Every structure is written in structure tokens, then in C-alpha cells.
Amino acid sequence: MTTFKHLQISELPELIKNGDVVIADIRDANSFAAGHINNAVHLTNETIPDFIRETDIDLPVVVCCYHGNSSQQAAQYLISQDFTDVYSLDGGFSAWQLQYPDRIAR
């Protein structure tokens, strides 16, 4: 079985710059509304069926949570749904907002 990959915070800006990438934020609704990585989609139990149906499974998908722990299980789930290029963002949103405070949407 294929597995997801780990992505360091410092690697994400290059991936974003290179083009098509989907950032899937799995944090709770209030946290997502308070701030998230620019252009991230909020992925929840309610939105996952549409996400799976509507997202190109060959696009890179970066899963983001609070600290990079829960995103690993979500990333592995996406792999099990035939997504081919899935990453868990090490350090999560907490690390992102410390390193890139100017790249947060509210």
C-alpha cells in the first residue's frame, strides 16, 4: 500500500509557487475561520465526499491540522481513496503561522 509523505513547513511555499496544489485544512470550523493558509479548503467529515468526488486525485494534496499529528491519519485516508500525491504538513498550522504570518487568510 502506498503511503503519504511528510512535508516540512519550509517546503510548502515552493510547492504553492509551482502551481496546482490543494491545501486541505482539517481543523475545527472556528479555528479555520480565525485563520488558515491562503487558498486552503476546509475539509470535514461533511465535506469529504464532495472533496473526493471533485478533486483531481493526481494533484498534490497537503493536509494541515493544528500540529501535524491528525493530518497524518487524514493523509493516509486520502491515499486509501486513490489520491496519488498526498502530504502531511509537519508542524501544522501552528508552525505555519509562526514562520509565515503574512500568508494567512482570515
Residue positions annotated with a catalytic role: 65
For residue 89, the SS3 value is strand
Q: What angle do CA 24, 97, 104 make, to 5 degrees?
A: 65
Cβ of 78: how many Cβ atoms within 10 Å? 25
